[in-house]
Amino acid sequence: MLRDQSLVASTPAVKRVALPGAGRVAPIYWKHIPAGWIGQPLTARDKMEMGAHDLYSPFSMLGYVVTAGYEQSENTQPNFGTDKGAFGQRLGATALRISTEGFFTDIMFAPLLHQDSRYYVEGPQHNFFHRVVYASTRPLLTRTDSGRETVNGAQLLGNASASALSYTYYPKINQNFHDTAATFGVSLLGSAIGDLVSEFSGQLLEAMHLKKTQ
């Protein structure tokens, strides 16, 4: 349901190409705003509910499995081993780490810092290099509730808190500062990759005729 509030436009004033769906208003709990669409203002409660929705979305569940599978194939930390039982442990640890990242970022720090943790797709009105740089820097930069760009304190603090918490459930061999710092770095890298996917996936699916033009 849309609200009778002033809306915050997510598109730049000058466009290079026409964007399908430009000016449409995104549903209140969409975490990713398509290029040209408008994101509704979020209250602190909205941010908490959006974060809760995102924690257990199908996309998030798929992310848990893919991340655990990659860690299993490369035998990276957390060092549970490589047998079938280890995969279950990795999956549980991955789900706990990513969900706590979402909890701290979206439900706790975004409301406290008055930051908007949604991802706003730039779209094809920008060149490829611009879009890659934009997407890959979103874990470090975000917008405030008023639309001003700022340091992404919610994400940085959220990922740092979740990484510190991983110390309590990772294997003893990984319970040290180096591995905790590495977990934080990998978390930021994973967020950047996720934003890159969000930036280009819609356009790619449309090109493959797997998604209707909005």
Residues of the chain with pLDDT > 70: what percent? 85
Q: Assess whether pLDDT exceeds 90 at residue 93.
A: yes
Q: Assess whether pLDDT exceeds 70 at residue 184.
A: yes
- Give the tens place of pLDDT for each residue, 50-69: 999 888 888 788 888 988 88
pLDDT at 89: 92
Q: Do 136 and 196 contact (CB within 8 A), yes or no?
A: yes
> Binning pLDDT at 50, 70 and 90, where does residue 180 land?
very high
Catalogue the long-range contacts made by 181-190 (C-beta closer than 8 Å, 24 or more residues apart).
182/77, 183/77, 183/97, 184/159, 184/160, 187/97, 187/101, 187/159, 187/162, 187/163, 188/139, 188/140, 188/155, 188/156, 188/159, 190/67
Q: Is 23 left (phi over 0), alpha (psi -120 to 50) or beta?
A: left
What is the mean pLDDT of the segment spanning 114-139? Answer: 95
Domain boundaries, the chain: 44-207
